[in-house]
Amino acid sequence: MFVLLPLARAEETPVAGDALVVGSIGDASRLVPILASDSASGDIVGLLFNGLLKYNERLEIVGDLAESWLVSPDGLTLTFTLRPHLRWHDGAALTAEDVRFTYERLIDPAVRTPFSSSYELVQSLEVLDPRTIRVQYKEPFAPALESWMMGIIPKHLLEGQDLNTTPFLRQPVGHGPYKFKRWKTGELIELAANEDYFEHRPQLDRYLYRIIPDQATLFLELLTHGIDLASLTPLQYQRQTSTPAIARQFQKFRYPSFGFTYLGYNLQDARFRDVRVRQAINLAIDKDALIQGVLYGLGSAATGPYPKESWAYDPAIRPPPFDLEAARRLLGEAGWLDRDGDGWLDREGQAFRFTLMTNQGNEVRRQVAELIQRQLKLLGIDAQIRIIEWSVFVHEFIDKRRFEVVLLAWNLSRDPDIYDLFHSSKTKEGEYNFIGYSNPEVDRLLIEGRRVFDQTQRQAIYRRVHRLLYEDQPYTFLYVPDALPIIDSRFRHVVATPIGIGYNLIDWYVPQPEQRYRRMAP
């Protein structure tokens, strides 16, 4: 559902000024679009950099840096024409050479980007003139247009540098609606409005990203106006923000998120290589108890990688019933039995014990982990919970595969291509198949799904992928949570759409009498 609120009143004229203070439980890590693999980094680079194309609020592909584009009848050639007079934040011209440079870094094996697979079928990229790029594909590639939503990076500043270690990672120069000002690790990232942005200058002078690694503290900061925008927990949405006083001060929204929360297994671990073990854990986790007990009903059970809002979702796949006896039978077949009657499963003298890792500051994930811990205890599995600061978790444990089981979530692109998540080739450090999943049939289908343009044919392919992943359970797919953003009521033009509330951030404004932060000089 969408909770819609009034737009600006008719008598109001948008004015510049004020600041938007956003609260986040996690810090960014690398502010280069082709390396921004975590959500916090993605939030920031999305304001500093643009792609050639983007989605609008109706999920239609429209131009961004590109003012126009052409697709050849056979789908193998894309020709982009850049807008005139594009500028980097340092004043240098943004040209087709920057697009070529970005592409060359995306396919450079020395660059630890998780996005390279979207460019492997490019046969050539030619610069026809300073504003025109022609991209030739070896074979049809259905997600081609979406792949050119990747943020373009500056050749004049990054040529000859190691992108994995460059100082630019922490001091980026972009071309988007906001400019980078400063980054105080673990505390604050500050951006300032780009006076020369090609659409128009953002109305809000500043964008402040405060890192508050605890959801309770973050909520208190919201109520005391230390931050303006945050994501509510289900408890906060249902029970702590429903008073008339809160309703006067804040606008809150609810809509399905386009992603899912999951348990991910390190498939190099012999215990989890056995599909019967993964299937048993899936049966032993009561998804409805998670949704009702932790999410307060603000979500739905997941059966695979696609939410119900995706045209690739297969409605024939149903969440499995909670069934401890069936789970015990599967584990017994895999050799895990309670041989000594102590209530714990063991095999070859080793108890079934593992560490379940998740990130610090996310109260919902902590509660979900604790409920899963209790449910698996009924089965005879000892799950020990370990909570780790976000950036350390990602770079020291996820990227380096130093985990047994993780509790995480994916936000998905609108195209159902999930090659990067599940293809067996995408397991290098920094890539997204960090669990090490490999299924030749899934590999084949993921490749086929990229080569077919007809949506009916693609739907059949991805529904088969959905089915295979449900059967294999490389993840235990838990739930699709509702997105629950809340924002101070002084901000105007904030609207919920199928793509969320932030698509038109440059149009948000605060009437002069309600502005809270002083006007910045250009």
pLDDT of residue 520: 53
For 104-119, what is each residue's pLDDT tens digit?
Answer: 999 999 999 999 999 9
Q: Which amino acid type is present at position 73?
A: P
The edge-to-edge listing of strands for the beta sheet with 66-71 is 66-71, 77-82, 132-137, 122-129
* Closest C-alpha to 89, from 168, 5, 163, 17: 168
Rg (CA), the chain: 24
- Domain range for 337 is 259-482
Facing residues of 480 across strands?
Answer: 300
Of 161, 114, 186, 211, the closest CA to residue 426 belongs to 114
For residues 250 and 307, membership in a common domain is answered with no
Residue ranges with strand state E in 224-267: 229-231, 250-252, 255-256, 259-265
Residue 10 included in any domain: no
- Asked whether residue 263 is assigned to any structural domain, the reply reads yes
Give residue 253's pLDDT: 95
Question: Under DSSP, is residue 475 helix (H, G, I), strand (E, B) or coil?
Answer: strand
196-225: average pLDDT: 95
Do 126 and 99 have their domain in common? Answer: yes
Which of 69-73, 221-225, 421-425, 499-503 has the least mean pLDDT? 499-503
In the three-class reduction of DSSP (H, G, I as helix; E, B as strand; rest coil), residue 431 is classed as: coil
Residue 390: band (very low, low, confident or very high) from pLDDT cuts 50, 70, 90: confident
User: Can you say whether residue 153 is alpha, beta or left, with left for phi > 0 and alpha for psi between -120 and 50 degrees?
Assistant: beta
Q: Does 213 lie in the same domain as 312?
A: no
Q: How confident is the model at residue 2 (pLDDT cuts 50, 70, 90)?
A: very low
State whether 245 and 380 are in the same domain: no
Question: Does the pLDDT of residue 322 top 70, yes or no?
Answer: yes
Do 50 and 129 touch, CB atoms closer than 8 A? no
Lowest mean pLDDT among 378-382, 412-416, 460-464: 412-416
- The mean pLDDT value for 475-499 works out to 95
Do 475 and 405 form a contact (C-beta atoms < 8 A)?
no
CA distance 161 to 101: 12
Average pLDDT over residues 58-84: 96
Between CA 154 and CA 44, with CA 19 as vertex, the angle to 5 degrees is 35
Asked if residue 456 and residue 331 are part of one domain, the reply reads yes
Which token pair is 142? 């259905």
Q: Does residue 482 register a pLDDT over 80?
A: yes
**Residue 178 in this model has a pLDDT that exceeds 60:** yes
Q: In CATH, what number is assigned to the domain containing residue 341?
A: 3.10.105.10
Res. 391 pLDDT band, cuts 50 70 90: confident
Q: What is the mean pLDDT of residues 218-226?
A: 96
- Structurally, the chain folds into a number of domains equal to 3
Q: Has residue 3 been placed in a domain? A: no
pLDDT tens track for 120-165: 999 999 999 999 999 999 999 999 999 999 999 999 999 999 999 9
Q: Which residue in 354, 325, 387, 326 sits closest to 265, CA to CA? A: 354
Give yes or no for residue 4 having a pLDDT over 90.
no
The answer to whether the beta carbons of residues 345 and 336 sit under 8 Å apart is yes
| SS3 track for 86-99 | CECCCCCECCHHHH
Residue 470: the pLDDT is 96
Please report the pLDDT score of residue 8 as a whole number: 42
Tokens 């584990």 identify what position?
331
pLDDT at 352 over 90: yes
Do 213 and 268 fall within a single domain?
no
Work out the percent of the chain whose per-residue pLDDT is above 70. 97
pLDDT at 80: 98
Residue 201 has pLDDT above 60, yes or no: yes
